Every structure is written in C-alpha cells, then in structure tokens.
Structure 1
C-alpha cells in the first residue's frame, strides 16, 4: 500500500471493505465524523470543553454525510451548530441521506438550504452574517467536496469568497481535503477558490491532493478509521 493515495486507490480500499463485510458505509461515515472531532480537539484543546459554536457546510456527496455526522456529534456535546446544505437531500447517496435525516430529525430548525448548483449572492450574504456577524463562531467545517473533485466550484464562489474575507474570524476545518483542491492542485487560479483550511483531517493515508496543495491544507492530520 503506497504512503500517499490517489482518490481511486482510496475508493478501492473502501469498496473492498464494504464487499468483505468488514464495515458498512454508515459505520465508516460515523467513524469519519468522530475522527474529525477527535482531531479538532487534539489540535485545539480549548474547544474540547465549554460551550462553542460551529457552522458546517455540507455538500451533495458522502463528504456532506460526514458533515452531518460531525454536526450531530457536536450538538450532542452541547455545541450550537448550524448546517448549510449545498445539495438536494433527496439526491444524496443513501448513507449521506440517512445522516441528513438523522440530523434534521434531531434539530430541524438548524439547517439552511442554499441554492444548488449556484449559490445566490443574498444567500452568501446571509451565511456571512450568521457565521461571522456576531464574532462568536468558533469553527467552520468544510464538508462540501472530498477527494477526486475534478471541476471548478464556480457555483460556490460567493461562499468561498466569504470564508476568505473572514479568514481570521474562526478555525477552519476541511474534511478529507479543502473543497476546490483537485488531485493535481487547485482547480482554479484564484487562491480564494479553495476553502481556507487551518486543519485538514483526512482518513487512512495522506492523499495526492494534499501533496499538490499543501499551502491550502493548513495542518494535516491523518485519522485511522479501520480500513
């Protein structure tokens, strides 16, 4: 097994684990979400106790499903959590959809849909006001897109630009890889087109995207999830 994995190699590992019966997709998603929280608390010990506030950006795939697990687990720990969903939940993969439903059933009033595939400027302004307006947000989690992304995120430009404009107002955490970073580097030339991570939490092994975009990843922590 190579020390650095491509997206296709990681997916092959996951598929082999599912096919062997070693783990289900839901179990793996739960482990991934918990491992992000473990890494967050290891990196920022002051967040492990007390009341804090998180904003979670969830995308249309399994990375978004990880985000819903993170939201639920932080809420259970006593955090104030707001989710922004960049997806049609009915079109999400089965396991991601299940975790969406678990979150919405738990806290129905704390999820805000944003237009997919193109975020409206007014929605980005609302996101900025709610996430950064009162200066109390502690953590922004990027669970929009994971490894293997191969197209620019032009529809998300207003959200990404808002994150960059408030770069020092919160601790920015990327799940697996910062959104907007492809396997060979940024998918667009502008620095603000990639989520500005302070911490990137990836699973099993470092990924090729990290090596080609180190300046966007912040601190990289590899978490083992039983593959």
Structure 2
C-alpha cells in the first residue's frame, strides 16, 4: 500500500547502509531477482542483452548479467557513459562481472534476444538523449521483450511522465516498494507486469523513509467503512441529499442518488426544482423527492438535522444558483462535482473562502478540464505530476480533491495521497462520474471521513466496473457494488 518516491527510496537505501546492512549485498539480491525473472519468463531467449547505466541501476544490471551467464545464458552488455567512472557498489558490480561490455551505440538488434533495461530506473529527472530514444524506438518497433530494472528508463518515478522516450517493458522488477510512476499514466502503460521484490530492507526503515503516497487499496479505508449492527435503522445509516437540475437534466442526479443508496445511505432524497418534480417522480422508487427551487427552500430543508451529506453538481447547471446553494451547504459534508465545480471557475477564491477554517469535509471531484478551471496555475505547471497537483489543490481548497482519470488521485489537505489503479478502460462511459459522486456521498452520509470516503468511493467504483465487465453503462454500476463485509 505504501509507495516510495525515488527520493524516499534513496533515503531508505542510505538508512539501511547506516544501520550496518551491506549495501552491495542488497545490490546482489536485486540483480539476482532480475535474472530470476528473466529465466522464469523467457527461458527460450537466444541472448540476454543488458543495457547498463552510469549508476546503481547499472550495477543491478551487471549483477544480473553475471548471474545469467552462470546459468548458461548467452549475455551481451552495452554500457552508457564511461564505465571507468562508476563508483561505489556499481563499480564493484562491474568489476565482479567477467563479461566484456561495449558502448551502447554499438548495439544492434539480435534475433530472439530479450533486453534487460538497467539504464536509469526510477530516479531519472531529465529527458533521454536522442541517441537513446532511437535505440528504444528500434527495440520497440522490433517487438523485443524488455525487462525493466526498477522502472522502464525514460519514465519518471515520481510523476509517471515519459521524458523524451521510454522502453515499453513486458515486465518490471522493482525493489521493496513500488513507486508512484508505476501506477500513474502514461508510465503505468510502460511497465508491463509489475513485480515488487523484497531485497531485505527492514520495514521500520521503509516506514521511516516513506511519506504520503499510497496505492489505493481497501487497507487504506476498510477500517472506516460503515458496518451494520442489530440496532441499525435507516436514520442511523445517514440521509443523503442530491441536487437535480431542471426538467431535461434530472438523469445525472438520479444516477448519483441511486449510487448513494446502493453505497449504504439509509435514506436518499433527490432535491429538484418544482418544474422538474413530475419528470423526476416518474423515475423514482426507493429514492425520495423534495421540491427545492431556490436558496430559501434549501435553507428551510437544512433545518432537518437528520440530513447528513449532500451531492451537488451532476446535471445541476452552471451559474449563480449553484454558488448560492454551495454557500448554504459549505459547512456540511458535501461532494462538489461537475457543474458545481465549474460554477466557481471565474471565482475560485469564493469557493475556497467558504471551505476555509474548518476540518476538511468537502470532496471535490474534478476531471482534467474542471481541475484546470478551478486551479489554472497548478494545472499548467509541467513539472508537477498528478499527485503534486492534487495535493497542492487540496491544501489551497481545504478540501479532499479527487482528481479523476484512468489514474485517479485522491489528496487530502494534510498531505495524504492515494493513487487509484483498479479502474478498467470501459469505465470511461457517460454518467460514470455521477455514480462516483453518489457513492462518495453515500459514504459521507454514513459518517466516513472525507479522505477515506473519497478513497473508498474511487476503489468501489472501479471494482464495480470490473464486476460489470465490458459494455457496462452507468446504470449498471450501482448494482455491482460489492458487499462491504466481503472486502478484504
């Protein structure tokens, strides 16, 4: 669950060495893990072609090469830079490797080979050279299988961004903990299957070196999921209010309302303008309905203290009405989605002012375009990865930010970050975001804290899509939500 950034992994390596652990011994274990993956996955390869870089990633490559030679595999090594300038463990690994290496420009495709990419790993921060990009392109075009050491060279370990070019690995072997770049796009698409190998750094050291990044799994939120008991009844399970647009725009809010009900809220009420009441009523069964046409009617409704959370945005409409409704709701648990976000595009500070000074209880769910409207300066910052953008936005808004996409990122103002990676491609369908907003709203209504509700909502959304399978529609998703008691 805990992910380590390249800097944090470097700190873990340093702390391990300072504690007396043999750093070269760790490198040998890493290189042997790579060679074992090669032998397991590609036993019929005609040659292991090992690209060794100028740092410790290259050292792992030299160890792997020597181990493969000992196993009877033909091996060719191509080095980047001057190997005489290698230092520390990487230098020792090259000395211990009895295979002559050649400069990487000498590489030529070899029939039946498998490439081991030990050039840069996760720590790369600059674009690859044109010459390396040409080699990568040749390997890719020839469909040569690649095993990446730590991370495919060219992929940023912190951001997942491709820096000029990057190998497309069939398999990636990383060590102790995965990095954010393994799960963020486009890096995730370059990793192939991911193997996290334990080379022996103690967990206490990883915990000391680690920070805020996590893979979004049930371990992150399961303890906060609502649990039913013999004394449960509908009012104790929370009352969710979902706001609808006008007569021709009730569908999105109805999707959210049904999702909130399926997520466990005891009651869900669809708040509709009076002129949309008849349209909405023809589609509602278990979801209740309340005419709420203006802010005065809203404030009267809010006098009912049994209302525990709200969803505003899906199909609501952009404009002043949305802003006044949010002002009335700002002190209550709230999912602000779609039109609710866009309504503050011209005045984001107004929204941030409404949410300031309290314990964070609002979840903002922007997709890329909506994020850019609300946080234009953060969005256009090219050096920030998606987690950094979401984290900065969360601190500015004093809200949990769920930055949607195939690699959804959830960030809290206190620095916690979760990267969601369970969503299948077929989840990209009209209305799925409305369902996500409703799931989160249903969890907030049952008392889940905002960050845990957002993390759980994103994971449940993806899990439901996987259960539903290809060809799903948004209407299918709520019916495929798993039972909370079955989540492990």
Same fold (TM over 0.5): yes
| Match in the other structure for 1:118 | none
Higher relative contact order (CA 8 A, sep 6+): 1
Partners of 2:178 and 2:136 lie apart in 1 by 24
| Match in the other structure for 1:221 | 195
SS of the aligned residue for 1:187 comes to coil
Of 99, 103, 107, the residue aligned with 1:107 is 99
How many residue pairs match? The answer is: 197
Q: Cα gap change, 1:176/1:149 in structure 2, threshold over 3 Å: closer, same or farther?
A: same
Partners of 1:216 and 1:187 lie apart in 2 by 9
Of 57, 63, 68, the residue aligned with 1:74 is 68
Q: CA RMSD in A?
A: 1.7
How many angstroms does 1:52 deviate by?
A: 4.1
Partners of 1:86 and 1:188 lie apart in 2 by 17
SS of the aligned residue for 1:185 comes to coil
How many angstroms does 1:159 deviate by?
A: 1.3
How many angstroms does 1:127 deviate by?
A: 1.8
Partners of 2:26 and 2:3 lie apart in 1 by 20
| Match in the other structure for 1:117 | none
> Looking at CA atoms only, which structure, 1 or 2, has the larger radius of gyration?
2
Alignment of 1:53-202 (within 5 A): 53-103=47-97, 106-108=98-100, 111-114=101-104, 123=105, 126-128=106-108, 131-132=109-110, 135-137=111-113, 139-155=114-130, 156-167=132-143, 170-182=144-156, 183-188=158-163, 193-202=165-174
Is contact 1:163–1:196 with CA below 8 Å preserved after alignment?
Answer: no
Is contact 1:186–1:194 with CA below 8 Å preserved after alignment?
Answer: no
| Match in the other structure for 1:206 | 178
How many angstroms does 1:188 deviate by?
A: 3.5
| Match in the other structure for 2:221 | none
Dislocated runs of 4+, deviation >6 Å: none
- TM-score, normalised to structure 2, is 0.39
Q: Deviations over 1:195-214 (max 9, x none)?
A: 11000000001111111111
| Match in the other structure for 1:12 | 11
How many angstroms does 1:149 deviate by?
A: 1.0
Of 36, 39, 58, the residue aligned with 1:38 is 36
**Structure 1: tracts of 5 or more residues without a match:** 115-122
How many angstroms does 1:145 deviate by?
A: 0.2
